[in-house]
Structure 1
C-alpha cells in the first residue's frame, strides 16, 4: 500500500482559526528563529489603501541574538492531500496577495525537539513588500488596530481571534498579548464588544460628513492625541478614521448586531468566500436555521459549525428553502422572479 503524500501548511495568523480549505489533519507546531509581529499593513482585508490595518507577519531572528535566546513561534499545521494542494495553494496565493510570499520552514512539535518534523509552507511578508508598515511601539500598534477597518471587517476582530487561538493553545506570545491587553482596555473604555459596532449609537446618514468624523474620533479616543497612519509622529493630532474608514463603519455596523439566522455552506463555498472574496451562491448552501426576511443579517457557517462570516441575505428563509443547492440560472423559474444570482453578495460580507 502506498503511503499518503501530504503538503504541510503552517498558519500563524488568520489560518489558525479560519483556514477555509479541506485538510486531512491539523496539529500544533512551532518554527524556530522567527517571531510573529503586527508589522504588515492590510489594505484589502482589515484596512484600506488610504488607511491600512495591521496584521501579522514573521521577522527573522538576528544572528547576534541566537546565543542568548531562541525565538520560536507557535501555530497550526494543516496536512493537505497532495492531489488538493495545487488548488488550495492557488486560492491561498489570492488570499495572501497583499504582500505575502510562500516560504518553506522546518516545523517542530515540542520545545525540546532537536530534529525537525518536516518542512511546511509558510506565507510571510518581507520588509520589502509595498504594504509593510514595520516596527512601532506596542501602544501605537494597539491604537492603530483599534481604529482600523477594511472590507473583511474590523482589525480588532482579527487581533482578538488570533489572541484567543493562542490562549486556547496554551502558549504565550507576549507581543500579541500586550497588544490585546491595550485593545481590550480601549474597548472597555468605549463600551465596544464583539457584538456592537463602533458606530452603533451614532445616527449616521448615508453620506458621511466632517461632523460625523469628528464624532467618531471623539468616541474612540475621547479627545486624546494619537499617532496617525504609517509615518506619523507620536502625539500628533491626526484623525483616527478617514472618510473611507467612516464609510466602511457605516456600511458594516449591522454586521455586529444579532444575526437572525444561520446559513450552512459546503467546502467549495467556504473556499470561495474565505480565499477569493466571492459571493455566496445558492448552489453552495447545504442548510439553514431560523426564519428571516430578505436583507436580514445571517451567520454563515461551514459544515462543522464553525463561523466563517456574516452577511446580509438577498433572499428570505422561505425563498431559500426553494433554492437551496440550486444553480443561479434556475432561480427565476423556481421562484417566478429574480433578486440576483447570489444569496449574499461579497460586498455585504465580512469575515470572522
Structure 2
C-alpha cells in the first residue's frame, strides 16, 4: 500500500484521490518554516516561506496520512512531484496512526505499529533553503510574498487554523501566524492606526523573536547532529 504523509498544505488541500485518511504523527521530526518558495507562495526573486520537516530528537510532527488507491499511485506521485517542486525531495518516513491528538504520543508507540509512507522534505542543501531567522524578518518576508497559489500570509494562517482545529499546539506555527496576522492588519489600517499597530507589533515581535531564536538554535543543533 502507498501512504502519503502530509504536514503542510496537504493537511487541508490534498487535491489527489485517496482511499483513506487518518490522523497520524511522525516521531523525531518537527515542522519549521525554513524553506523558501520560488513558485507557490513566492517568486524566484522574492521567496516566500513554507514548511519542511526538520529532525529533532523526541519531537513529534502531527498531520494526516492518506492511503492512495493502487491504480492511482502513478498519477498521484506524478502530481505530487510537480506540486512539491522547488527544492523538495521524496523520502520514506514511518508514521503512527492516532485516534486523537495526545500530549505524549511517543510514550505509547510500538515499533511494529509504524507504517511506511512517502513525504516530501526540503533539505538544507537545496538552493531555496532559508533556515531559521529572526521572527520579525520572517514576518516581513512572508507578509510581502505571493506566488501562483496565492499569498504567503494565507498559507501560514491556513496552516495555523487547521492545526488548531485538529487540537494541536504548535508554538512555532502559531507564533508566526499571529505575528503575520498583525502585520497584515497593520499594513491595511489607516495611517494613525497603522503607526500605533506597528509600534505594538514591533515590541511583540522583539519578545517573540527571543523565544523563537532559542527554539531555532536548538533545532539547528539537532539537525546537524
State the TM-score bracket (shorter-chain normalisation). Answer: 0.7 to 0.9
Distance 1:167-1:222 versus aligned 2 partners, 3 A rule = closer
Which position in structure 2 is the counterpart of 1:76? 64
- Give the whole-Å Cα distance in 1 for the aligned partners of 2:171 and 2:135: 11
Which position in structure 1 is the counterpart of 2:164? 167
- Give the whole-Å Cα distance in 1 for the aligned partners of 2:130 and 2:184: 24
Q: Is the 8 A contact 2:186 2:198 kept in 1?
A: no
Q: Is 1:48 the counterpart of 2:36 in the alignment?
A: no
- Distance apart, 1:222 and its partner CA: 6.5
Q: Is the 8 A contact 2:139 2:183 kept in 1?
A: no
Q: Is the 8 A contact 2:28 2:59 kept in 1?
A: yes
Q: Is 1:113 the counterpart of 2:109 in the alignment?
A: yes
Q: What is the aligned counterpart of 1:180 among 177, 180, 204?
A: 177
Q: Secondary structure of 1:132's match?
A: coil
- Distance apart, 1:117 and its partner CA: 3.2
Query: How many matched pairs?
Result: 189
- Distance apart, 1:140 and its partner CA: 2.1
Q: Secondary structure of 2:39's match?
A: coil
Trace 1:239-250 onto structure 2 (pairs within 5 A). none
Task: State the structure with more CA Rg.
Answer: 1
Which position in structure 1 is the counterpart of 2:217? none
- Distance apart, 1:165 and its partner CA: 1.2
Length-normalised TM-score, structure 1: 0.50
Q: What is the aligned counterpart of 1:100 among 76, 88, 91?
A: 88
Which position in structure 2 is the counterpart of 1:157? 154
- Give the whole-Å Cα distance in 1 for the aligned partners of 2:135 and 2:95: 28
Which position in structure 1 is the counterpart of 2:133? 136
- Give the whole-Å Cα distance in 2 for the aligned partners of 1:141 and 1:171: 22
Length-normalised TM-score, structure 2: 0.77
Q: Is 1:146 the counterpart of 2:150 in the alignment?
A: no
Q: Is the 8 A contact 2:49 2:142 kept in 1?
A: yes
Structure 1 runs (4+) deviating above 3 angstroms are none
Q: Secondary structure of 2:119's match?
A: strand
Name the one with the larger helix percent.
2
Which position in structure 1 is the counterpart of 2:214? none
Structure 1 unaligned regions, length at least 5: 1-5, 193-200, 202-217, 227-352
Trace 1:180-329 onto structure 2 (pairs within 5 A). 180-191=177-188
Deviation sequence 1:141-164 (CA, Å, 0-9, x none): 122211111122100110111111
Q: What is the aligned counterpart of 1:90 among 78, 81, 84?
A: 78
Name the one with the larger strand percent.
2
- Give the whole-Å Cα distance in 2 for the aligned partners of 1:128 and 1:117: 28
Which position in structure 2 is the counterpart of 1:126? 123
Which position in structure 1 is the counterpart of 2:213? none
Deviation sequence 1:152-181 (CA, Å, 0-9, x none): 210011011111110111011110001011
